Chains A and B, each alone.
Chain A
Amino acid sequence: MDEPALIHNAQHGDLNAFNSLVLTYQDIVFNTALRILGDEDLAADASQNAFISAFRSLNSYRGGSFRAWLLRTVTNACYDELRRKKRRPTTPLEPETGEGEDIETPRWLIDPNPTTEDQLDQVELEHAIQHCLENLPTDFRAVVVLADIQGLDYGEVAMAVRTPIGTVKSRLARARLRLRECLQGFRELLPSAFRLEEERQL
């Protein structure tokens, strides 16, 4: 069954049709939540809440990109989660050094299984990106995640974050500028493949 038919059936209460849509979009929804929240468990909760909320408000969908409409729901769920987190901050499980500073990668968190160099590169890259993303204001983070990580066009991003295209353009430029500065700090940590790519482009 094609997507418009599934959406139509789901709007008439067909849960199986909606679950087919869930299976199609759950990867992008979960990864978006993961990049905005930076935590797998929170991202899973936000994704589940987003799908439940989407089913309940499915009649408010009036055409256009269903992916963008769905991502708007998950973005809202992430904003709610971030607000909740801000109200009730939790203490990280990171141990402290003698001077009271956090040890970011304690010995008991290191994976004992040996990994290949590529896997290590990927892990380093991901940590660097996530660190830089978390330093961005939430609105900028959502825009850059949707546009650069999930590959949505400006129109879809505008629909997902409910802002005009001009604002999306501006936020994306600011976010990229900040990310550029942040990633420069990780230049040595970034995988060699990326450094070579950069050199080629220059």
Chain B
Amino acid sequence: MTTPSFRDVEQLSAYLDGRLSQVEKTRLETRLQADPTLEALLGDLRHARSILRRTPKHSVPRNFTISPRMAGIRPPVPRLVPLFSWASAVAAFLFIITLGGTLVGQISSGTAAPMLASAPMTSQAYGLGGGLATDATMSALTDNTLYTPTPETFVLMAPQATSSIGTRSIAPLPVPMSAKKPVKTWLFIWPGLAVLLFGSALLIRWLTLLAYRRRINKK
């Protein structure tokens, strides 16, 4: 009768599970018959194993099925969505460019405005013996889409009241509003287009998501 070694415990454990070869099994059974300590240990191990095997099983607190979101599955994105998103970005970019251009235009026209304000005085100075400011000249001026006042224009615009030849006087010309109209229209068109495209992209995405969820729930 000897104190069982760990090797003995390992063999007894494998014997319980039927994992010994025929030779090992026969050898161990012979030892078990001769050694009551070993046999008692086998009984203890068997007892421990049988208790573990009768451990109560718990029922699951909930189902562990996973949703598409938990699984990280994304719904398909229609091709139009990125297209519309990019177009929206381009429209927004153009809006910024147009806005910037308009602001620069306004600043430059803002520097021209004082010149226009001083036009009557200047024209009076130049007006003596100055050129003719006729209706034809005026119509030619207003027909220009972009109006840039020049010293020559001021000369032409000089009031004729002081002129010896003058037929009638002309009030100083305001900056033609018609010249800014196209720019202002685009100022509204670009952001409108950007919002419309972005909204369309969102709508398409939402509709696709809705259809995808319906399909998933149907399954």
Contact = CB atoms under 8 A, between A and B. Distances in A.
Given A22-B63, A170-B10, A173-B14, A149 B47 contact: no
B63 A183 contact: no
Interface string B49-85: 1111111111111111110101111000000000000
Contacts of B68: 15
Contacts of A183: 47-48, 51
A63 to B, nearest CB: 22
B60 A15 contact: no
Contact of B10 (A31, A56, A173, A180): A173
Contacts of A48: 64, 66
Interface string A171-199: 01110110110011000001000100110
Interface in A120-162: 122, 125-126, 129, 144, 147-149, 151, 154
A23 interface: yes
A144 B70 CA distance: 31
Most chain A CB within 10 A, of B40, B45, B54, is at: B54
Contacts of A69: none
A11 interface: no
A194 B47 CA distance: 8
Interface string B20-60: 00000000000000000000100111111111111111111
Contacts of B66: 15, 18-19, 22, 48, 51-52, 55
B51 A15 contact: no
B10 A169 contact: yes
B117 interface: no
Interface residues of B, number: 39
A71 interface: no
A26 interface: yes
Contacts, number: 118
A164 interface: no
A40 interface: yes
Interface residues of A, number: 49
A16 B6 CA distance: 49
Contacts of A56: 71-72
A176 B64 contact: no
Contacts of B17: 147, 154, 172
A51 B65 CA distance: 8
B47 A201 contact: yes
Contact of B13 (A23, A40, A44, A172): A172
A176 B65 contact: no
B61 A40 contact: yes
B19 interface: yes
A149 B51 CA distance: 9
B53 A31 contact: no
A159 to B, nearest CB: 16
Interface in A5-48: 13, 15-16, 18-19, 22-23, 26-27, 29-31, 34-35, 40, 44, 47-48
Contact of B19 (A13, A22, A27, A154): A154
A29 B64 contact: yes
A27 B59 contact: yes
A202 B43 contact: yes
3 closest residue pairs by CB, A with B:
A173-B13, A148-B52, A19-B65
22 contacts: A15-B71, A22-B65, A23-B63, A26-B63, A29-B64, A34-B58, A47-B60, A48-B66, A52-B66, A56-B71, A122-B56, A126-B56, A129-B55, A169-B13, A172-B17, A173-B12, A176-B9, A180-B48, A183-B51, A194-B54, A201-B43, A202-B43
Given A29-B64, A52-B70, 4 more contacts: A18-B71, A51-B64, A56-B71, A202-B43
